[in-house]
Structure 1
């Protein structure tokens, strides 16, 4: 088996994943792009394991660990995205950043109104 074919496919998958992380605004699409990058790494691990004819199949073992890591990452990531969407009614990453900056700053008149009413 030629190593070039899976290596080129993995490089293309990884580049598409990087583009998705850098260019997308939706948090779910960013998570999907991270999954594409993990799939590219898994493909490389298995391809090099087959190409090197490893007796212990280390690449396949690492791929199994990577699949478990990806499953945990997507579970936690989707839980966070759903919680943020429920509280903020948006999953756009740039709007979430803007809301975080606005929530940290308290208006100047809010503190003075609390002290005058009591």
Structure 2
């Protein structure tokens, strides 16, 4: 398995991973700024978080002195992102129950 991973790293340079992560982050940022649906905005934020995870794992794999620290940070970020989604979705559901909309433009205060 390690031989396959080393062979894959020899084929794809670090810049390839960084370009893919930059494209993912740009799509996520564009979607978070343009879209009005709160659920879609959360998905775009998750896409940006996954782009950061990709860069952490890529740097951890390509830097010899990293010692797997990037993968550890990526697991921590995934756990934090899961908690963020749970809290964010609870807020969206609470707003939907009171306002009957998940459109971000129509929600201007937190008072019911």
TM over 0.5: yes
RMSD in angstroms over aligned alpha carbons?
1.7
- Equivalent residue for 2:91? 80
Deviations 1:17-70 (A, max 9, x none): 100110010000110000000000000000000010345311001001000010
Could you tell me which of 57, 64, 86 is aligned with 2:75?
64
- Decide whether aligned partners of structure 1 residues 79 and 5 sit closer, same or farther in structure 2, where only a CA change above 3 A counts: same
- Equivalent residue for 2:24? 13
* Segments ≥4 residues shifted beyond 3 Å: none
Tell me the number of residue pairs that the alignment of Structure 1 and Structure 2 aligns.
101
Q: Structure 1 length normalisation: TM-score? A: 0.81
Determine the C-alpha separation between the residues in 2 that align with 1:77 and 1:71: 10
Q: Which runs of 5+ in 2 are unaligned?
A: 1-8
Determine the C-alpha separation between the residues in 2 that align with 1:11 and 1:56: 24
1:1-118 matches, cutoff 5 A: 1=9, 2-54=13-65, 56-97=67-108, 100=109
